[in-house]
């Protein structure tokens, strides 16, 4: 999947989860950071490639990306596995609860949002031909549907003209159906 599809899919997943599992409390800053967080979460798994947008945001990031790519040898390994998911969760949990000022930002909601973005990335990649190595270091790739031929080719017309617009159509439809729940969430911020 391309970064653009991952962005849109992460946002759609965040909105969906929020409607079904609305937060108890939410301030505006947490809401804004959560939306950005889901997007960042969706880009983290591909940080094993040098072309990742996140690397461009960091000083000397491009070189770091190149070095990491050499370490990981090929794209879609540790970051797309269960070990990687648990590790990133534990690291983020530690960092966010330790360093975020919880008077302004809710670390639990932000952690959940980043992980929704992250998991949405793994799910989206599972829909592609390559699949995801969930049990890395075992080299078994999992995909949905299990038959490889039925899965999506990354960056090809089906992704660009069917999957990507499809995510937005889903989002518009979903927001209409769940308007009241979503408005309720906005009301929590007091805006
Ligand atoms: Zn990926």
Lowest-confidence region among 11-25, 51-65, 151-165: 51-65
The alpha carbon of 95 and the centre of ligand 1 are apart by a number of angstroms equal to 23
The alpha carbon of 172 and the centre of ligand 1 are apart by a number of angstroms equal to 25
The alpha carbon of 122 and the centre of ligand 1 are apart by a number of angstroms equal to 6
Question: Are 160 and 3 a contacting pair, CB within 8 Å?
Answer: no
Report pLDDT digits (tens) over 45-87: 988 765 566 666 777 777 776 666 666 556 688 999 999 999 9
C-alpha dihedral over 163, 169, 174, 175, to 10 degrees?
130
The alpha carbon of 99 and the centre of ligand 1 are apart by a number of angstroms equal to 28
Tell me, what's the pLDDT at 55? 66
The alpha carbon of 91 and the centre of ligand 1 are apart by a number of angstroms equal to 19
Q: How far apart are CA 69 and CA 151, in angstroms?
A: 26
The alpha carbon of 125 and the centre of ligand 1 are apart by a number of angstroms equal to 6
The alpha carbon of 38 and the centre of ligand 1 are apart by a number of angstroms equal to 15
Tell me, what's the pLDDT at 24? 94
- How wide is the angle at C-alpha 31 spanned by C-alphas 6 and 93, nearest 5°? 75
Q: How far apart are CA 10 and CA 26, in angstroms?
A: 20
Give the pLDDT mean for 137-151: 92
- pLDDT over 90 at 18, yes or no: yes
Number of independent structural domains in the chain: 1
Which long-range contacts link 134-143 to residues 24+ away (Cβ below 8 Å)?
A: 134/80, 134/81, 134/82, 135/81, 135/82, 136/77, 136/78, 136/80, 136/81, 136/83, 136/84, 137/81
Coil, strand or helix at 132: strand
Q: How far apart are CA 97 and CA 23, in angstroms?
A: 17
Q: How far apart are CA 164 and CA 186, in angstroms?
A: 26
| Domain assignment of residue 98, given as a range | 3-188
The alpha carbon of 153 and the centre of ligand 1 are apart by a number of angstroms equal to 13
- pLDDT over 70 at 26, yes or no: yes
Tell me, what's the pLDDT at 73? 54
The alpha carbon of 32 and the centre of ligand 1 are apart by a number of angstroms equal to 24
- Mean pLDDT, the chain, whole residue set: 90
73: left (phi over 0), alpha (psi -120 to 50) or beta: left
In angstroms, the Cα distances linking 145 to 124, 126, 149, 150, 170 are 12, 8, 9, 7, 20
Q: Select the more confidently predicted residue: 90 or 54.
A: 90
The alpha carbon of 105 and the centre of ligand 1 are apart by a number of angstroms equal to 28
Tell me, what's the pLDDT at 86? 98
The alpha carbon of 49 and the centre of ligand 1 are apart by a number of angstroms equal to 9
């Amino acid at each position: 999947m391309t970064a653009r599809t991952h962005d849109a899919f992460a946002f759609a997943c965040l909105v969906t989860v929020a409607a079904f599992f609305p937060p108890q409390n939410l301030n505006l800053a947490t809401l804004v950071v959560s939306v950005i967080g889901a997007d960042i979460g969706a880009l983290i798994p591909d940080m094993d490639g040098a072309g990742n947008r996140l690397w461009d945001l960091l000083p000397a990031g491009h070189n770091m990306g190149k070095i990491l790519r050499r370490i990981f040898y090929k794209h879609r390994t540790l970051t797309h596995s269960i070990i990687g998911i648990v590790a990133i969760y534990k690291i983020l949990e530690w960092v966010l609860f330790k360093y975020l000022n919880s008077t302004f930002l809710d670390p639990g909601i932000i952690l959940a949002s980043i992980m929704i973005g992250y998991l949405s990335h793994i799910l989206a990649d599972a829909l592609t031909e390559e699949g995801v190595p969930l049990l890395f270091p075992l080299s078994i790739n999992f995909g949905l549907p299990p038959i490889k031929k039925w899965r999506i080719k990354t960056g090809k017309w089906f992704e660009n003209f069917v999957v990507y617009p499809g995510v937005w159509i889903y989002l518009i439809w979903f927001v209409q159906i769940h308007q009241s729940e979503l408005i309720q969430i906005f009301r929590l911020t007091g805006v």
